[in-house]
Amino acid sequence: MKNQPIITRRTFLETSGKGAATLAAVVSTAPAILSAKSPNETIGVGCIGLGVRGGTLCHQAAKVEGVKVVALCDVYKPHVEKGLELGGNSDAKTYLDYHDLLADPGVDAVTIATPDHWHSQILIDAAQAGKDIYIEKGWTRTIDEAKAMHAAIKSSGVMMQLGHQSRERTAGVQARELIRAGALGPITLVRTGRFENRPLGQNVWRWYGDYGRYERPDPAQVQRDLDWDRWLGPAPKRPFSMERFWHWRCYWDYGTGVAGDLLSHEVDFAQAMLGYGIPDTCMTVGLNALLHDGREVPDTWNTVYTYEQQACTVTFDCSMNSCARIQPPVFYGKEAVLQFDTIAQSVNTFDVYAERGVKYGAKIEAGEIPSDEPFLKFDPAKTPEQPYHIEDFIQSVRSRQKPKCDEDQAFIEAAIIVMATIAYKENRPVRWDREKQDVVFA
């Protein structure tokens, strides 16, 4: 039996047809340094929200050539101090009120990495202020908010990138063309998932200021350094709570739990591969199996989506109590199965396994390709990398061409999140009404 081939440029072209040939040509010339209208023009970035992910975005933006972090906004003083360090500009202006940052003429573009309950209003205000926007997932919490955000982007003409960094992964870009060229045949099932685990007492989402940091800060000092009322904003008014401030993903007032944090990454990746849009139906079940720490959202979550016209089902499974085995994205086709190596945002390579008795059956019987091992493997070392997701955004700011995950893709992501959340809360299936552009009960 012959060894399975590695997918280099040449074998990828031969295997996946003309559509992949076009893609591979594009990948080969992907810019290492982004093109710009004016190479000498510095783009001023303002960072709104500087917690865990916000701090990372601030640092990433500062490293892009031709970008300077010029303004920072957070309602928690230590986060602003962190931004001054990570943004590489000790002279950056600092603001408590994001409206003041949006009014700063030195700010051309913003990153938004606040808790999700702030996403809608800040994005709309930023669009109306003419600022290009990089915003973290999940995009928002309701369909009404998503519609308002989508309309604001369309009417303002600003560039907007949603923070699904899986779309920067070269393995995903190449696999998409392989799939769309028909190498797998009709795809009827996609399996995705996220599995995490921590010792009880150090539960997932219960960290302080960074992943895996469980040393509890002094509540009195936190309260002195925090403008709690500004942090709450549009959320229901409550007395100061350490848990709600640091662990906001655990509460429905501020986000959509598993759906907005983990499901959104994986199912957006399936959307990037398939391009099917908003699913027709959704069912979700979940429960809090072990993490009885006061959280409102479940620690175990299972969602099933169907695309009726495409005859395809996409599943997402999550446990916060087990991670010895992961569930990478797997695309099950009639002719072959494509499996990635890890979770969506980190995919590096993929394998393709042939099905017996169909398209590749004769080659299997002839011993030309294996039946129980991958007959194609993607080699990331032999294909140029794509720009980082935030670099792709900066390229769009300069070129005025849409980024990889624009407002149309963001609306699809929001609908996917909302469908799963409503189905869980109501404990019954939901449908997407394409005429109303809204979630209805099945």
Domain boundaries, the chain: 6-30+167-201+255-385+406-433, 43-165
Q: Over the stretch 276-315, which tens digit does the pLDDT of each residue have?
A: 999 999 999 999 999 999 999 999 999 999 999 999 999 9
Q: Which of 385, 405, 376 is nearest to 393 (CA)?
A: 405
- Of the pLDDT bands very low, low, confident and very high (cuts 50, 70, 90), residue 355 is very high
Q: 6-30+167-201+255-385+406-433: what fold?
A: Dihydrodipicolinate Reductase; domain 2 (3.30.360)
Q: What per-residue string of b and e applies to 421-439 under the rule 16 or more CB within 10 Å gives b?
A: bbbbeeeebbbbeeeeeeb
pLDDT at position 383, please? 86
**Span 42-60, mean pLDDT?**
98
Q: Which of 100-104, 333-337, 368-372 is least confident?
A: 368-372
Q: Is the distance from CB of 160 to CB of 120 less than 8 angstroms?
A: no
Please state the pTM of the whole predicted model.
0.92
Burial class (CB in 10 A: 0-12, 13-18, 19+), 41: exposed
Q: 43-165: what fold?
A: Rossmann fold (3.40.50)
pLDDT at position 40, please? 55
Tokens 């599995």 belong to: 195
Whether 233 has a pLDDT exceeding 70, the answer reads yes
Q: Over the stretch 199-214, which tens digit does the pLDDT of each residue have?
A: 999 999 999 999 999 9
Distance CA 119, CA 90 (A): 27
**Span 108-134, mean pLDDT?**
98
CA 260 to chain centre: 9
Whether 30 has a pLDDT exceeding 50, the answer reads no
Burial class (CB in 10 A: 0-12, 13-18, 19+), 370: middle
Whether 28 has a pLDDT exceeding 60, the answer reads no
Amino acid identity at 210? D
Whether 61 has a pLDDT exceeding 90, the answer reads yes
**Whole-number CA gyration radius for the chain:** 22
Residue 354 falls in which region: left (phi positive, over 0), alpha (psi -120 to 50) or beta: beta
